[in-house]
Structure 1
Amino acid sequence: MATTPDDLELERLATRIGERLRAARDRVVTAESCTGGWIAKAMTGVAGSSDWFDSGMVAYSYEAKQALLGVRPQTLESQGAVSRETVIEMVSGALVHSGASVAVAVTGIAGPGGGSADKPVGTVWIGWKRRGGYTHAERFHFDGDRDAVRRQTVARALEGLEALL
């Protein structure tokens, strides 16, 4: 079982991402569901983040995912909010509705309730995309309580963003 990252580790990740974004003159946008803005919080906690952080969108409900990110109702109805298809539409929509060149999106089940046999608590989809590029989406299963699942999601989203850069 992986250890849950602490605040210092999240800060270090966000700082490295900011350095890479600044050097490349890129800007990032976040589209978050289960993390409730925590990825954006981690990045904007870095001094100077206004140079490279564009915006963050928290889209928790189906309606918000549709209105803010352009997720299709058919996708939500057929695949559910926690799915590869939904996170791909979220990350693509974040780029469409922002001035950013790089995006990260997350959707998942942080618990303690809301899980099912095929999507247990701790199931999270994360998507990363560079404007005009291919979308990478990956499914994870994180252990622990609600805070631990959310914290691990933030860390993995940041690690994937760092790898994309």
Structure 2
Amino acid sequence: MAEPEGQELSSPSLATSMGGHAALPPLLLGTYTPKMDAKGRMALPAKFRNRLGEGLVMARGQERCVYLLPTDEFRRVAVQIQHTSMGNRAAREYLRVFLSGAVDQEPDKQGRVLVPPMLRDYAHLGQEVVVIGVGTRAEIWDKQAWEEYLTSKEQGYSDIADDVLPVVDF
């Protein structure tokens, strides 16, 4: 199971030096390519285990991926959606789909989680998967779907950088 180039920014001094507060949650960063076995189990990237570790929630993500969220982050998102007016049809529909596809998980002693068949089917996951860090959550993608998505967004990534990013000195 290859685990290239991922990072976890969890150091209080790093968070503070980046203009944040020491209480900021660690960021899940990087791209990993674990294998999924025939039973739907896959090892969490080692760098994510401390953050996602003891309890996490898997849910339907956008663009046919599976979200991996620490339990606290999942609760924060669910509460935020629930605070949207019950008169808002789009919010009700999103909440139904999001919560009905959510599953609590605890990694086993080897750091593996079981991706339930419903979520594997939703995201078209087979043996070849990619796990990406996306800040406070991770996403599981079918490897080919991720490569196609990344290729299709590459030019747009460059084109919109000036509009999306504030002035940042690298």
TM norm. shorter chain > 0.5: no
Structure with max Cα Rg:
2
Q: Which has more helix, going by share of residues?
A: 1
TM-score (norm: length of structure 2):
0.28
